[in-house]
């Protein structure tokens, strides 16, 4: 048993290090500038201790800053701010937001690019969380199926190029990945142990997931729906179980609100403003870049950006000229990762494994019910509502695909083992 635990620890540590060591090689993205600038919220809240700047106003005192607080997650802002603060940077060292209406030279001269040292520090804040996701998804596999599933899930996660690219950048994706996975892991343990402790852990993980990025709303909601459905089907000690489930939801909402000071002064007004700003942003992006014309195109985008998984380094074509050399270097390095679906044969094999994994979910088991609702439905919803061929929109479902992949591999391996045992006997 000790040997297995030692091997598990070595495996997790190796892949966590793999995620972390690639942050220097990742090509730059303009959103990194804006997210680093957003760490001024850390300055306001924890250094200057000035909460007045977070009061929601209509009209806003500072429209740009208020808009960023409405739309962007909080976890990366706080953690990246803490990282550069501990490293000795000051607020004067921070860059200003990227100007998407100007070219690279203008942004460079205007101080919109962070220094290499500041960029790596802020990236580390995201990459540490993405790396911890290796341990979280390993725990999901171990809880669901055993070590074969855990090794397969964590391998898929740690090698997926889109996870590596976006998780290493100074953006919100590292936090989104980790706390989304911890929400699922806590839900599995709540179903298994039915304790107030795990209800609290579920609430905390879900709250931090929601505070990481708004796109966590769908998978987090599906986790809670999955837990509720599993409890209703079992109908064992239903009332105390539902009380714990409800308490977890209240904790999640409380954590989100505490992490978002802009919601404190006018929650209803802020909720309306978030919906309006998010709608306006997506509409503007679709109008400018062109959205998916039909369901077939959406399915093609899902396959391209999730299963094939070739990294999408930029969304604006002119960036090819600006970061082309960095892309070539990253693509040629070991840090890029490997997608199992990048070849035709590999994509077919991956599809077969995923089908087997999904079939394995349809059992009368609380854990499988939870995973089926979280993984399968979140994938379907993402395909249906994703408006643009942008890989980052598919990032929330990549852990779900990794979990299904691990279950499929475990089912195949177990089938082979049973067949060989039957042949020997």
Residue 403 belongs to what domain range? Answer: 2-29+130-424
Q: Residue for token digits 């942050």?
A: 23
In this predicted model, what pLDDT tens digit does every residue of 100-125 receive, in sequence order? 999 999 999 999 999 999 999 999 99
Whether pLDDT at 423 is above 70: no
374 is a domain residue? yes
pLDDT at 424: 53
399 is a domain residue? yes
In this predicted model, what pLDDT tens digit does every residue of 303-324 receive, in sequence order? 999 999 999 999 999 999 999 9
Phi, psi angle pair for 202, to nearest 5° = -60, -45
408 is a domain residue? yes
67 is a domain residue? no
CA neighbor of 306 nearest in space, from 391, 407, 380:
391
84 is a domain residue? no
Say how many residues make up the chain: 425
89 is a domain residue? no
155 is a domain residue? yes
In this predicted model, what pLDDT tens digit does every residue of 276-303 receive, in sequence order? 999 999 999 999 888 999 999 999 999 9
Does this model's pTM top 0.85? My answer is yes
Q: Which two tokens stand for residue 320?
A: 């090819």
| Percent of the chain whose pLDDT exceeds 90 | 92
In this predicted model, what pLDDT tens digit does every residue of 167-189 receive, in sequence order? 999 999 999 999 999 999 999 99
Contacts of 144 (CB under 8 A, 6+ apart): 188, 367, 368, 371, 403, 407
323 is a domain residue? yes
- How many domains does the chain contain in total? 1
């Amino acid at each position: 048993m000790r040997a297995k635990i030692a091997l598990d620890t070595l495996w997790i540590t190796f892949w966590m290090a793999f995620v972390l060591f690639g942050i220097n090689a990742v090509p730059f993205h303009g959103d990194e500038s804006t997210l680093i600038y957003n760490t001024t919220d850390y300055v306001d809240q924890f250094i200057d201790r000035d909460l007045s700047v977070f009061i929601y106003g209509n009209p806003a005192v500072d429209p740009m800053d208020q808009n960023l607080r409405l739309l962007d997650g909080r976890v990366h802002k706080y953690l990246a701010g803490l990282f550069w603060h501990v490293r000795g940077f000051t607020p004067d060292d921070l860059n200003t937001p990227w100007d998407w209406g100007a070219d690279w030279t203008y942004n460079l001269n205007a101080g919109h690019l962070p220094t290499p040292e500041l960029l790596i520090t802020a990236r580390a804040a995201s990459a540490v969380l993405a790396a911890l996701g290796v341990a979280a998804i390993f725990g999901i596999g171990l809880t669901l199926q055993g070590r074969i599933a855990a090794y397969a899930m964590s391998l898929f996660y740690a090698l997926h190029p889109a996870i590596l690219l976006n998780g290493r950048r100074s953006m919100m994706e590292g936090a989104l990945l980790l706390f989304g996975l911890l929400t699922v892991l806590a839900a599995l343990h709540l179903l298994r142990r039915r304790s107030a402790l795990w209800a609290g852990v579920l609430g905390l993980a879900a709250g931090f997931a929601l505070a990481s990025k708004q796109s966590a709303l769908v998978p987090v909601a599906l986790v809670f729906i999955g837990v509720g459905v599993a409890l209703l089907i079992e109908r064992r000690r239903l009332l105390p179980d539902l009380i714990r489930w409800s308490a977890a939801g209240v904790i999640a909402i409380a954590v989100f609100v505490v992490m978002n000071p802009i919601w404190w002064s006018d929650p209803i007004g802020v909720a309306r403003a978030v919906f309006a700003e998010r709608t306006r942003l997506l509409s503007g992006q679709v109008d400018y870049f062109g959205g998916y014309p039909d369901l077939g195109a959406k399915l093609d985008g899902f396959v391209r950006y999730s299963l094939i998984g070739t990294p999408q380094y930029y969304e604006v074509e002119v960036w090819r000229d600006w970061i082309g050399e960095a892309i070539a270097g990253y693509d040629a390095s070991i840090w890029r990762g490997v997608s199992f679906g990048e070849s035709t044969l590999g994509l077919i094999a991956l599809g077969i494994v995923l089908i087997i994994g999904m079939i394995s979910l349809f059992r009368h088991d609380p854990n499988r019910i939870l995973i089926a609702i979280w993984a399968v439905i979140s994938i379907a919803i993402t395909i249906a509502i994703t408006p643009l061929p942008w890989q980052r929109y598919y990032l929330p479902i990549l852990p779900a695909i990794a979990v299904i992949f691990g279950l499929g591999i475990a089912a195949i391996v177990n089938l082979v083992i049973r067949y060989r045992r039957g042949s020997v006997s």
